[in-house]
Structure 1
């Protein structure tokens, strides 16, 4: 199904184009450097500025293309004269340079918005508070297995803008965060997927859940009746917003709680995809590579997208059965003396930990902690009571964890390194149980990032 039959770019071209027009890029990470390469290719006067230290490999890439840049500063006279600014999603609106640009009415957009101006490829776009990386990679896996000429970008993989500049993909699967969506205006997705909405990053949304919900629903903006919106019909925030939303695209709900029309649902242990004017697809959930309730949702969303794209059912079934999950997300590490070790270091919010605990059917020794983002742990208490035999705190300040859980578990231990946490967990766990690293917190107190935390955990397990 060609969702873009007229080969129209997915974001309106800037009225500023092009020669002599100054485009300033704030942030020189993957997205910023990629945007700079595309902007230079399109003839803009490009300048890149990063208030932090630009990594050596990104500096080398900018030098290769002779793109001017500055590191560890924002020089206002080189930035405020911009005709348009592309902003890294990590830069908050309250930052001084952004406020000054807004006071001058300089348009500020995301790399995704910019790159979409220069491609006519089909765009499958995925957002949600949890599960978006898994669903993005599963969707990419299915499309690639079906023989599509497909790229992977957004919050994962290589820069979308750089791929638009240097590759020639017919389809892209894009993982989009709310921060990216906030700086997207004329962008349009052919297929939009919204997995769930739970409280996260509320500090960027004035601690107003309604603002965060609106941000997530920006994935449907500019869609027409030729486009598709896939969404979870079991999510309260999504259902509440949908009740009054004016969404013009074709709607495809998915649910594990009730039967739906023109979407996906469970019939006993069978995943059913029943789209209008297509053959009904079914697959036992026991054959899915990704197990657990949350992963059934992820598989439903990916499966609907594959059916919309009219892929062969055999390919969809085989791909959903063969997919390997991403590193640091419910990643099996080892089974030692009958104890299973799982690395879920990417679980940096409470809802992710809930999903992890829900998917495990054994007793759990839970390793959690780090930089607390003002977490509300109440939603975990029932699962912790049912499954968790001990909590090992891995962080510099564990007060919030003790306040939340010391009445729910018999044993709580404070540790300050991955090796110490793993060694204690091994002694506390029994044969047949699971040691789960699922922190609910950022990693910056003891580790470089969640990957470093996960890698140190895996290394410590292998030392046992």
Structure 2
């Protein structure tokens, strides 16, 4: 089977195991290596396919002889094994780049610092309801490579992170969506926003005049990045502050989406399933994709009205003694927490904290002053949160478990308030993942 060459896959999660499956199907000699421990679900799958793998180490003799390496987005380019591969001149690519070679489906690729999961799910929901044969992959759902190996979709909605884009070279998005660019993951980009922005702009690489690029005309950093990288594709901006000729805009309470002259979709924002300013942007982006694909207005309207958002993203957990509990554990950066606070209409007891990725809390100051009555820190090191907000709120408390944080927040809140878990940080100091953090919070709320 080694006729095709040797593919080594670094990282045995959803994307790695999916890539292994596709590489084996295409006749490569495949080896999987994970520096951490491999979840049982994935090791069982590799055993079933008789694909050799290792965990807890990277054995260089088994890796450096690869024809090509597919790496997990979580492994930084500064990792020793990646540096050694670069020295040897072995190409290192992402799962998306690899799988893209083996499908002719139309690619709808969505990136941005915030809102990409919601927008990807909403876009997928609209396309599926319209009867298109569509798959959902990337940073969300099942592995893209595994779907390419086993399914025959005509369209894919792919949620793409900057880490994935860094390892994508020849892949092309037929429809690319850039929602926004705000400081996130700067530790991977030498703490320079322009490096991160350049990475996001790779979403339009290889596009031609026959492709489509959709972006937010109100996002300062996107506009700046567009001065450095000019799209060849047909562009459709969306805005809530000004009218645009082709694209989407908000006029009072009505969204207008038009990709063709005389064929406009209008919809009142009160009809949208997703509420809050940031979700108007997400809905506009999805709506433009749907109009580009010439779906019926009726279908688009209906889908935008009955969509159910994802778990851990502004998810209403319960109302107890007149206090609303909201799980926004997926808010792993400051901008996500800004969006969450921006959509609150009551006084808030905010639970935040965790692993700080070099956060700048200044952008939250105004919202914290106007809406937050107390902050409950949930993390091992909360000094930067205290320093940032000690002048803005009367109470800042440290806690070290979801249960403790929830109980204290409940005591600090009164009838009519909202307890909001929106951490602005990664979860790895106390939890396995943001999902684990959200689930522990929900369990603690149910115990109140």
Q: TM-score, normalised by structure 2?
A: 0.98
Shift of 1:179: 0.3
1:12 is matched with which residue? Answer: none
1:187 is matched with which residue? Answer: 171
Shift of 1:396: 1.7
Contact between 1:178 and 1:215, CA under 8 Å: does it hold in 2? Answer: yes
Contact between 1:371 and 1:442, CA under 8 Å: does it hold in 2? Answer: yes
2:81 is matched with which residue? Answer: 97
2:54 is matched with which residue? Answer: 70
**What is the SS of the residue equivalent to 2:351?**
strand
**What is the SS of the residue equivalent to 2:3?**
coil
Show CA shifts across 1:202-250 (max 9, x none).
Answer: 1111111111001000000000111100000001111112134221100
Aligned length: 448
2:319 is matched with which residue? Answer: 335
Aligned pairs for 1:349-364 (under 5 A) are 349-364=333-348
Aligned pairs for 1:447-462 (under 5 A) are 447-462=431-446
**What is the SS of the residue equivalent to 2:349?**
strand
Shift of 1:278: 5.6
Shift of 1:276: 2.4
- Determine which of 121, 134, 159 is the counterpart of 1:175: 159
Alpha-carbon distance in structure 1 between the residues aligned to 2:61 and 2:243: 59
Alpha-carbon distance in structure 2 between the residues aligned to 1:384 and 1:287: 29
Alpha-carbon distance in structure 1 between the residues aligned to 2:344 and 2:152: 41
1:435 matches 2:416:
no
1:164 is matched with which residue? Answer: 148
Aligned pairs for 1:194-343 (under 5 A) are 194-277=178-261, 279-343=263-327
2:5 is matched with which residue? Answer: 21
Contact between 2:201 and 2:229, CA under 8 Å: does it hold in 1? Answer: no
Alpha-carbon distance in structure 1 between the residues aligned to 2:215 and 2:274: 19
Shift of 1:18: 7.5
Show CA shifts across 1:349-373 (max 9, x none).
Answer: 1111000000111111111111222
Shift of 1:302: 0.4
1:129 matches 2:113:
yes
Alpha-carbon distance in structure 2 between the residues aligned to 1:341 and 1:441: 19
1:8 is matched with which residue? Answer: none
Alpha-carbon distance in structure 2 between the residues aligned to 1:139 and 1:246: 25
1:6 is matched with which residue? Answer: none
Contact between 1:18 and 1:42, CA under 8 Å: does it hold in 2? Answer: no
1:393 matches 2:377:
yes
Contact between 2:187 and 2:358, CA under 8 Å: does it hold in 1? Answer: no
Shift of 1:453: 0.9
1:142 is matched with which residue? Answer: 126
1:36 matches 2:20:
yes
Q: TM-score, normalised by structure 1?
A: 0.95
Contact between 2:107 and 2:158, CA under 8 Å: does it hold in 1? Answer: yes
Contact between 1:254 and 1:300, CA under 8 Å: does it hold in 2? Answer: yes
**What is the SS of the residue equivalent to 2:168?**
coil
1:407 is matched with which residue? Answer: 391
Alpha-carbon distance in structure 2 between the residues aligned to 1:312 and 1:341: 37
Contact between 2:110 and 2:160, CA under 8 Å: does it hold in 1? Answer: yes
1:368 matches 2:352:
yes
Show CA shifts across 1:327-360 (max 9, x none).
Answer: 0010000111211110001101111100000011
Alpha-carbon distance in structure 2 between the residues aligned to 1:460 and 1:54: 29
Show CA shifts across 1:154-208 (max 9, x none).
Answer: 0011100000000011110000000000000000001000000001111111111
Shift of 1:460: 1.0
